């Protein structure tokens, strides 16, 4: 059976060796990303939205969509009453698609894992769907998200289970020991793309910032 379009793009993204390669692959994928991921049954955005609405009141602002891609979550956040949202993504092509949806107050092209150009305690909530995964971002991306999230705010993210066990969970434990966060909720493992064979399980996690 021929490889599907989204499998080809995903393979290229996961095989990337540096942020520039990741950005380039996402740029090339941007125009068909929404339809490809719909075919794959992509679950991360829905899981993040469900967790966010359980832990952050509608209308809380501002929010950051960290790894916004084409703006899938941004559209749904707007529908659910979170209308002051900024987008961050590594790919200019993806952000161009997100801009067309008209749901973000600002768009920032940059990679998680580096220093972010936001003041301390800026955001009431942060959502990051599908970013903490192979070839993208590990536990090193959490420090800056914690810094820019308000006390009492939440960080909602998905993480590939293998990366969670080996890298992200130890980082979260460190942040808990430092008194910076607590784990408010963690889902059971789930398959993020039922339409793609061999997808590793992931978990959704809610961190409450102290």
pTM of the model: 0.86
Q: How far apart are the first and last CA of the chain?
A: 50
Helical spans, DSSP H, in the chain: 5-14, 19-29, 33-39, 44-55, 72-79, 92-100, 142-148, 161-163, 169-177
pLDDT (tens digit per residue) in 44-90? 999 999 999 999 999 999 999 999 999 999 999 999 999 999 999 99
**Where do the domains of the chain lie, and which CATH numbers do they carry?**
5-209 (3.40.50.150)
pLDDT at position 1 is 28
pLDDT, tens digit, for every residue of 91-114? 999 999 999 999 999 999 999 999
pLDDT(30) > 90: no
- pLDDT tens for 124-175 read 999 999 999 877 799 999 999 999 999 999 999 999 999 999 999 999 999 9
């Amino acid at each position: 059976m021929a490889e599907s379009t989204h499998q080809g793009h995903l393979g290229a993204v996961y095989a990337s060796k540096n942020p520039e390669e990741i950005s380039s692959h996402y740029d090339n994928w941007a125009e068909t990303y929404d339809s490809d991921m719909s075919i794959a049954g992509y679950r991360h955005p829905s899981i993040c939205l469900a967790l966010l609405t359980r832990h952050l009141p509608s209308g809380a602002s501002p929010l950051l969509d960290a790894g916004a891609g084409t703006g899938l979550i941004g559209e749904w956040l707007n529908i659910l009453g979170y209308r002051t949202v900024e987008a961050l993504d590594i790919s200019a092509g993806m952000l161009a698609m997100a801009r067309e949806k008209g749901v973000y107050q600002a768009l920032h092209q940059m990679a998680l894992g580096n220093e972010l150009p936001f003041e301390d305690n800026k955001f009431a909530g942060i959502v990051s769907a599908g970013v903490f995964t192979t070839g993208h971002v590990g536990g090193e991306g959490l420090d800056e998200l914690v810094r820019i999230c308000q006390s009492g705010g939440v960080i909602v993210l998905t993480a590939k289970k293998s990366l969670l066990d080996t890298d992200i969970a130890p980082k979260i434990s460190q942040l808990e020991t430092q008194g910076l966060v607590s784990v408010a909720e963690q889902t059971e493992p789930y398959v993020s793309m039922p339409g793609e064979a061999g997808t590793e399980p992931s978990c959704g996690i809610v961190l409450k910032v102290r």
